[in-house]
Structure 1
Amino acid sequence: MKSKIVVTGYGVKAPKSTNIAQFIHHLKNGTCCLEAVTNLLPNGDTMIIGRIDRGLEEYESDKRFKRLPRVTLLGMAAGMEAMKHAKLSSLSDQKVGLFVGVSVGAIGDKIYGESIMNISNGNLRKVPVTFSHFANYHSITSAIGHYLGIKGITKTITTGCTSSLEAIQDAIVYLQSGMIDAAVVGGTDSVLNQIAAYGFAKTKSITINQGLDDGAVPFSEKSKGFAIAEGAGFLILEREEDALKRNARIIGEIEQVVSNNDGVFIYSVDETGAQMVQALKEVTKGRKPDYVNSQALGWRINDRIEEYASKELFNHRVPYTSIKSMIGNPYGATGVLQVISSLISITQGFIPPTIRTQKDGFEAMNIVTEPLYQEVHEVAITNHGHGGNNACAYVKRYNYSR
């Protein structure tokens, strides 16, 4: 019999949330943590983003970290909070693995853009020595590992918006195999710049002139695309018996993560949602979770796949919600932040709302639009994104198994 994989700590960096307490507050109150800006699209057109405007001051003022990209600093801060939450003061006497999901990495950092310009203009001597590390996603993970004192198995998973859920999937396999005794696992991403704005506007997943009234509104035909955001989240995972041995507080259980790929052309999306339904079917095993913490972003194609899964598997009887209406889409960090929000809702007894939606065109779905206080025992999580990957997780209230 496989060991239960339990969560003993987590850490968060999200828009308007510099720590766990603030994240909980916003989830409970349905706070919109997004803002409208006019400096990322042509002609001063408006778009909405999820920005972290504080919480990294101690890292940014430390000379040791001045060469590190913002995405790394976010991961370091969230990882350290997770370790403190789990009361892991030292990892030197354990077999520890670090698993980090990243989607866009450091390409949004100023130094990366300046390096590309210097290369384009033939100013090769002005390209900084750190450029190769900014271009190499695993440098993000290794820098986080160095800061946290992890020298064991270190993996970077980059599969688009499913990256951090698939990092959790890998960590579970390593824990259950006995190759490691604890896992620090999560995701981090930051790319609030013109590269992302123009790129997603080109694919029409972001619409020119978004506003807070009509952009990043999940489950709405009227939504003008999603909101790009930055964020980081980390979990401490252990086998149940190891967590009990050290008298750790067990927050919840991650039963399973299932992932697959649509198998379509790079610029396409399988609008049937067949592979997403298959992944969700595999993790739910015929059960009806208390709710689904979904990937719905406010992008029609994406949200219709969620609707199809809701109808196919639950006949719209299971409540659905999306925290993306509050924090936007933080790329590779999105899955782990959904897991953390699900664990919070289990331990504190509420379903976070999908704010700002009138459910236009999605009236048949059971969508939670106000904070709903009730017992929560099991939550299914859905992710899908660029590259065609789908990932679903099943998170449960912890029950002592002996």
Structure 2
Amino acid sequence: MARAPQAAAEAAARNSYGRLLAYLAARSGDLVAAEDALGDAFAAALAQWPDRGAPDNPDAWLLAVARRRLADQHRARGMAAAAEPHLVLMREEIEAAAAEPAVPDRRLALMFACAGPEVDPSVRAPLMLQAVLGLTAAEIGSAFLVPPGTMGQRLSRSKARLREAGRPFTSPPLEAWPERLGDVLQAIYAAFAKGWRELGEPEGEALATEAVWLGRLLTALMPGEGEAEGLLALMLYAEARRPARRCPAGDYAPLEAQDVARWDQAMLAEAEAVLSRASARPGASGRFQIEAAIQSAHIARRLSGLDTWPDILALYDLLRRLAPSPVVELNRALVLARIEGPEVGLAALRCLNDDRRIADYQPYWAALGRLSAETGQVAQAIEALILACGLSDDPAERRYLEGEIAQAKAAGMQ
């Protein structure tokens, strides 16, 4: 009996949290208070809907409860008299929006607000992921190769400083967006990457879809921004391959084993067109344009059979100068292995051994295991692949890695 209303509350949390929070924050000018109020509203939904049933318009119900919580917060702080005109206006706007079938989607505006000067630069993109897309500190930490506890502390401190500052948390005008664009792109990319890694999970696919939607909206609102177009192209290249990342039987298929006939050709064509527009913009290419070009080269290699590995290596060399990271070094090492042999790739990969940021990064251990196996270092290969298997949350990917472990063991017995 309680299952359907609880499912309705969980669906509202998945599908509406970011939109509702963005609307409340825009109206109240207080992100932290809006977040607290909306959290209380969802808690009330979980407590009341199982007994009373889910409302016909869950978003309107949640907004009404959150609005009351915001008013209570102002009164508790002794600001009722000063805030009364503002609260009346906010109530009227929220009630008017609640009467509509859907709440206006202001998530992108909230993301640009999170990139304001009052927010520490290191926390801007993580704050967007938590506030707008509802990711946990652990999920955000994984995206930025930062321990969950450290990321949680950074986010908490940032919110505390926002509250202590007492300045309205408002979205900037459109003309101020370009100076904040880099942080917003980073957050959208991190959200997409998380959704991309969660292969076979509906939540992951939904998150990747949301990121692509935000990317499309961003390029429409900011025409002529080559990096925004580069990010959209990058996501489209990857998303076009989603159907082929699982075999018909459900097994995991890496890029080299994917059936290209199952790629979304229309989406690939769109990605090519978007990247071409971005490349034609004046000025040097940015990080996302280069990453999109790498994906384009991989697609061309698989579709045409051309050897694009040297081009891919040149692009990674450019990327490591522009935006160095252990992930770039990892991928570059794999390309080196294709061009100069697994020994050279493994030597490049070992340069990351002491980098704590990748201690729990599953792709690093999978790559180390594969290159070790290719160079005949069976014991190291098995150890690395077992670690990679343990760090994977995807059953299909674990089965694939277990197959590689079995092959390495068989090779060691010969």
So what's the TM-score if we normalise by structure 2?
0.28
Instruction: Report the structure number with the largest CA radius of gyration.
Output: 2
Greater helix proportion: 2
So what's the TM-score if we normalise by structure 1?
0.29
Higher relative contact order (CA 8 A, sep 6+): 1
Greater strand proportion: 1
